[in-house]
Amino acid sequence: MTKHSNNLSFETICSSEVEELRHNPSHILPIYASSSFVFEDTQHSIDVFTNQKDGHLYSRYANPTVDSVAKKLARLETFGTDIEGYCLLTNSGMSAISLVFAAFLNHGDTILTQADLYGGTTELINKVFARFGINAIYVDLTDIDVVEKALIEHNITMIYAETPANPSLRCIDLAATARIAKQHHCMTVVDNTFCTPYIQRPLALDIDVVIHSTTKSLNGHGNSIGGAVIADAKYKHQLWQSYKLIGLNPSPFEAWLLHNGMKTLTLRVSKACDNAMVVAKFLETHNKVGQVNYPGLPNHASYNIASSQMSKFGSMLSFELKGGFDAGKSLMDNVSLITLAPTLGDLDTLMLHPASSSHLNIKREIRESVGITDGLVRMSVGIEESEDLIKDLSAALNTIS
């Protein structure tokens, strides 16, 4: 072994970590691809392991890249309020939902929710959390009298809502729901994925917890899977305890991709919302279309509520083709610019025909009960030129006999 002047061997120098030679801050957030971090001393490890002080010990607990992006998202979701926001990034939207249920629900608790949820959320409730004694009651959350009646008749622990709903685009009165829930000592949780905090901020309307699939519009580029939970900092310990033990953390790279996407959030979403309005108005007048579900149209059932709690009407819409299943299949097979994909919120326009894809194996009467008919098509409108989207849709609609 050859000794160096500092009495370390060549082998030891090879295996040692280098000193980070960063003399001034980087312009772009670095990716901290480290599984662990160094204790200052024993007391430091105790303080951080017990969440008494902020710090980084192990990336399942916390990571500088992940925490930096989470802090930014908390600022966006609490913008315009005096709420001290707390955000945890997760490895998917589904894990964000799982975190909230695991952190706040116990055996015997009941969730009050809606039938027109994202299918994965419904399955999570019915197939996973039901096994742990957590029940769900499904009602029309857009009817505040129905909500109040359920709260009076049942011992409800949590109201869980999506607004706008998928794929009906119906909207729930968030302020009224929060007010009634608090009267009955019930927690409120809202999936804000469709809107992002640029369009709608439920915490400002007194909702307790907000969930996102950051995979969608927050990232906007279709290159990352992730989720987020944002709440008042008073819920910090309860959320973090479940988060670190279940192991729901994203990789630093996924968080970094989300950060890059959020930089253009307002530009992307604003353009997509404008395009969605143009597309919705076009579809509303087409003779092959029976109904358009878009909260920005004055004839939509939720137009007034959406106008009061959303700054824009969103980039999501759905529409009912008069020709049923065959019409939906024909439309899907004949678009050329629009992409067929089972996601939403990307830069480009995406289309889904649930009856031939996501809900193919669900009985017709079940899916139709929540508005998913044979001729229903869902669109996530992107940032292309709206004229090009109209041309593509028009040509495809003309193929329907």
CB-based contact 364:398 (threshold 8 Å)? no
Domains of the chain with CATH codes = 63-262 (3.40.640.10), 265-397 (3.90.1150.10)
Residue 5 has pLDDT above 60, yes or no: no
For 214-272, the pLDDT digits (tens) are 999 999 999 999 999 999 999 999 999 999 999 999 999 999 999 999 999 999 999 99
* pLDDT for the residue numbered 39: 85
Indicate if 234 belongs to the active site.
no
**DSSP strand pairing (376-380 vs 350-352):** antiparallel
Considering the chain, what is the average pLDDT of its residues?
A: 94
Residues whose CB is less than 8 angstroms from the CB of residue 363 and which lie 6 or more positions away in sequence, other chains included? none
> Which amino acid is present at 353?
H
Residues whose CB is less than 8 angstroms from the CB of residue 389 and which lie 6 or more positions away in sequence, other chains included? 275, 278, 279, 337, 338, 349, 381
Distance of CA 372 to CAs 91, 160, 369, Å? 29, 21, 7
* pLDDT for the residue numbered 2: 46
SS (H, E, C) 165-221: CCCCCCCCCHHHHHHHHHHCCCEEEEECCCCHHHHCCHHHHCCCEEEEECCCCCCCC
Identify the active-site residue in 216, 268, 271, 367.
Answer: 216
* pLDDT for the residue numbered 3: 46
> pLDDT-derived band of residue 53, with 50, 70 and 90 as boundaries?
confident
DSSP E strand stretches across 218-325: 227-232, 289-293, 316-321
Q: Which residue has the tokens 């999936």?
A: 191
Indicate if 303 belongs to the active site.
no
Identify the active-site residue in 67, 109, 191, 392.
Answer: 191
Indicate if 329 belongs to the active site.
no
Indicate if 60 belongs to the active site.
yes
Residues whose CB is less than 8 angstroms from the CB of residue 326 and which lie 6 or more positions away in sequence, other chains included? 400
Q: Tell which residue, 268, 398, 386, 277, has the closest CA to residue 337.
A: 386
Identify the active-site residue in 58, 60, 244, 281.
Answer: 60
DSSP E strand stretches across 12-150: 85-90, 110-113, 135-138
Identify the active-site residue in 32, 86, 118, 160.
Answer: 118
171, two tokens = 């909207």
For 77-119, the pLDDT digits (tens) are 999 999 999 999 999 999 999 999 999 999 999 999 999 888 8
CB-based contact 279:379 (threshold 8 Å)? yes
Calculate mean pLDDT across residues 327-332: 95
